[in-house]
Amino acid sequence: MAQRLTTCTFCGVGCGIYMETAGNRVVGAYPSMSHPANAGRICLRGWHVHEVASSPDRLKQPLLRKAGQLQEVTWEEALHFIADRLQDIRRKHGPDSIAFLNSPRCSNEETYLLQKLARAVIGTNNVDHGAGVYCNNSINVLLDMIGVPASTNPIAELAQSEVIVVDGVDLGRQLPTIGGWVIRAKLKGARLIVIDTRRHRVAESADLFLQIKPGTEVLLYGAMAKIIVDRGLMNLPFIKARCRDYEAFLAQVEDYDLLQVAEICGVPAGLIEEAALTYARAGAAALLYSTGIEARRKNSIQAIINLALLTGNLGKTGAGLFPLTEHNNLQGVCDMGMLPDRLPGYQPVSTPAARAALEPVWKAKLPATPGLGARALLADRGQGRVKAFWLCRYDPVSTAFFGDAANSLKQCDLVVVQHLFATDTAQYAHVVLPTTAFGEERVSFTSTERRIQLAEQVIDPPPGPMPAWQQLTRLAQTLGADWDYTSAGAVMEEIGQTIPFYSGANYDNLAREYGRQWPCTKDRPLGTRLLFAEGAGEQPFKFVPVPRPPPAAAGLNGFPFTMVFGHSLYYWHQNVLIKHSETLKREYRLLLLDYPDGFVEINTDDAKQLGIRDGGKIRLSAAGGSAVSTARVTPEVRSGTILAPYFVRQLEKQILGTNEHGDSLVPVRVEKEAA
Ligand code: SF4
């Protein structure tokens, strides 16, 4: 038996785990006691994440569509076919007729090469990742207000927080190890404030639980800010020394009336007041919020950051902002520039100096116009302009959030899918390229606490699949580019040259201890645990005045309920990894014994009033369509709210139908469906 320390690649916590191998087989996984993110704890998914590699459903050879059927071919044939087709499409329709999308599960190295292929070899900024539609608001707001699009403090510092606010994220289901840190801090005396529509497990332990109406967070934060200002609890020395635009913010705060806000949010005024005073009086208060499907609009994130600035909760131990990234490499794919308008390191594509810095390294002239994002690309191929898609570990057909992705793919001249499995999306591919799995390659990921760390190779891949970074290198060479990467480590060397805050992150350095938190630079090779310890960055922090939103009409257009999308433990994102892990699949099936066709959650009192029983049929009608599902009756969800587990595709399709903006809050009418 042999053991090796590696990183769990399931969610954004990036727990340290040991993989135990016998011969060329992983026989077990167990937690690292001293890894800073998990300190000896992992969740069910971490114990079984390695099972995916041994799934019998793995793709074994490249597949090429011939006479309508996907057939096994050699790597040579597949790559030459793709190169010829790409060149042909670019010649006929221009570089912007080709688009590149990936999953926020992709490694840093394959993401970096994918966007480099798009920009430097093909000549387009049509690049995005699957979670961009939810999290890019948070990136842009953080960059604008504090200059860094990431968590400011390490996860382990939650143990030193006096107050922890958890907003809109079900930690127990989504990021369980962080949920554990929060509960342990609470047991040691920290005050816990939870703001959510759902009474989840962490909410059950809260000192203050603000069960808010969906979509009203801006008002809540505005009212909290006003209470803090009225009581004179703002941190004026911090504001004076480190912030700008305070006066404009102050003028806007006047518009928030506590009693009105309490009524609109559905939260008692006294509770809002107590939450505001608790947060403001803490010596160190941490604020955790979701950047996932539950993510709110831009103004709600601005309101959150304003509160942290107002109370000076940045740059000190146990405080800070935690924009939580649920996918294991959501932070990394954004850092790597898998964004239609930003290059690696978040430099805007439209800034000449940013392109000029990259061009000599990439030996190419870079396109200056921002590309299209995933939604525009998948909904209607950018009004029909896109003729080819490259999809790396990404399965957009399994969700309806982007409109009818299958229909868009059907109309393309080329669809290339890189994946471990024959996904729903692979059914529309012209070429499918099998990738290596977790444990079969040495690559890096960046966790939600900015920790760049290695996932180690512990076994040899089966014959056939190839690391995605290597597939991209070989394709670029076939297209005539002089790419000469011989390992993922060599790709990281170039990442270090192009992203200043990764300049010290070579594999030798990352292999020591437990990775490094960025900025990890040549001058600071050990990385940076706490941001802003020495003050604001290059610019002062910026307050943004957030106008008070008008109250939404109750019972809008006869749709009195609000449907929200969220997580159920075994409906985790697209389930690809769960479906291919024997143990997790079994657990998933156990849940489906009760609800074999999936379910939506409805509040116990609402269900009683409508005569709906647990396990009974329920009809949901929205402006965009209607659907029948099974009711899971629970006191967890707020009255007036329906929770649909993310990725119950049929439901999304029928309900979201014409919801072209992909809003994750949908007004619906709810009725009992006759059996
Ligand atoms: S919390 Fe996330 S990273 Fe940690 S073991 Fe669970 S799935 Fe893996």
Give the DSSP letter string of 83-134.
Answer: HHHHHHHHHHH-GGGEEEEE-TTS-HHHHHHHHHIIIIII----EEETTHHH
| 3-state DSSP percent of the chain in helix, strand and coil, to 5 | 40, 20, 40
Which of 606, 627, 620 shows the shortest CA–CA distance to 563? 620
Pocket test for ligand 1, best of 5, 30, 42 (most atoms within 8 A of CB): 42
- Place 573 in a pLDDT band, splitting at 50, 70 and 90: very low
Instruction: Taking residues 239-268, report their average pLDDT.
Output: 94
pLDDT at position 555 over 70: no
8 lines ligand 1 (CB under 6 A): yes
Can you tell me the distance from the alpha carbon of 492 to that of 210, in angstroms, rounded to the nearest whole number?
A: 44
45 lines ligand 1 (CB under 6 A): yes
- Distant-in-sequence, close-in-space partners of 553: CB < 8 Å, separation ≥ 6: none
Q: In this predicted model, what pLDDT tens digit does every residue of 170-203 receive, in sequence order?
A: 898 889 999 999 999 999 999 999 999 989 899 9
User: Can you tell me which atom of ligand 1 is nearest the CA of 177?
Assistant: 1
Residue 398, token pair as written in the block: 């399994």
Instruction: Taking residues 501-518, report their average pLDDT.
Output: 96
Order across the sheet with 451-455: list the strands.
443-446, 451-455, 516-517
225 lines ligand 1 (CB under 6 A): no
Can you tell me the distance from the alpha carbon of 651 to that of 646, in angstroms, rounded to the nearest whole number?
A: 10
Burial 292-316 (b: 16+ CB within 10 A, else e): bbbbbebbbbbbbbbbbbbbbbbbb
Can you tell me the distance from the alpha carbon of 198 to that of 635, in angstroms, rounded to the nearest whole number?
A: 9
> What counts of helices (H) and strands (E) characterise the chain?
24, 26
pLDDT score, position 60: 93
Residue 466: CB atoms within 10 Å: 18
pLDDT score, position 658: 45
pLDDT score, position 673: 84
Q: Regarding predicted confidence, which is higher, 657 or 376? A: 376
- Distant-in-sequence, close-in-space partners of 1: CB < 8 Å, separation ≥ 6: 20, 21, 22, 27
39 lines ligand 1 (CB under 6 A): no
Q: Regarding predicted confidence, which is higher, 138 or 259? A: 259
Cα 44 to averaged position of ligand 1 atoms, centre (Å):
8
Indicate the pairing of strand 625-634 with strand 600-603. parallel
Cα 630 to averaged position of ligand 1 atoms, centre (Å):
30
Give the DSSP letter string of 11-78.
Answer: BTT--EEEEEEETTEEEEEEE-SS-TTTTT---HHHHHGGGGGG-TT---S-EEEETTEEEE--HHHH
Indicate the pairing of strand 320-324 with strand 285-290. parallel
Residue 317, token pair as written in the block: 């131990």
656 lines ligand 1 (CB under 6 A): no
Q: In this predicted model, what pLDDT tens digit does every residue of 148-162 receive, in sequence order?
A: 999 999 999 999 999
668 lines ligand 1 (CB under 6 A): no
577 lines ligand 1 (CB under 6 A): no
Residue 421, token pair as written in the block: 């499995």
Backbone angles phi, psi at 295, to 5 degrees: -55, 145
pLDDT at position 541 over 90: yes
Atom 6 (ligand 1) nearest CA? 43
Instruction: Taking residues 396-403, report their average pLDDT.
Output: 72
When computed from its CA atoms, the radius of gyration of the chain, rounded to whole angstroms, is: 24
pLDDT at position 36 over 60: yes
Can you tell me the distance from the alpha carbon of 332 to that of 505, in angstroms, rounded to the nearest whole number?
A: 13
pLDDT score, position 549: 85
Residue 595, token pair as written in the block: 């609800």
Backbone angles phi, psi at 323, to 5 degrees: -75, 100
DSSP designation for 526: T
User: Can you tell me which atom of ligand 1 is nearest the CA of 328?
Assistant: 3
Residue 513, token pair as written in the block: 């201890």
pLDDT score, position 292: 65
pLDDT at position 556 over 60: no
Q: In this predicted model, what pLDDT tens digit does every residue of 92-145 receive, in sequence order?
A: 999 999 999 999 999 999 999 999 999 999 999 999 998 766 677 788 999 999
Average pLDDT over the chain reads 90
Pocket test for ligand 1, best of 33, 43, 449, 581 (most atoms within 8 A of CB): 43
Residue 345, token pair as written in the block: 């390191």
Cα 146 to averaged position of ligand 1 atoms, centre (Å):
28
pLDDT at position 659 over 50: no
Whether cis (ω within 30° of 0) applies to the bond prior to 549 is: no
* Cβ-contact 201, 172 below 8 angstroms: yes
Instruction: Please state which of the ranges 444-458, 576-590, 628-642 shows the lowest mean pLDDT.
Output: 576-590
Amino acid letter, residue 304 = I
Atom 5 (ligand 1) nearest CA? 46
Among 285-299, 313-327, 544-558, the range with the most confident prediction by mean pLDDT is 313-327
Q: In this predicted model, what pLDDT tens digit does every residue of 247-256 receive, in sequence order?
A: 999 999 999 9
pLDDT score, position 265: 93
pLDDT score, position 661: 46
Among 52-61, 222-231, 418-427, 625-634, the range with the most confident prediction by mean pLDDT is 222-231
- Distant-in-sequence, close-in-space partners of 533: CB < 8 Å, separation ≥ 6: 315, 316
pLDDT score, position 654: 66
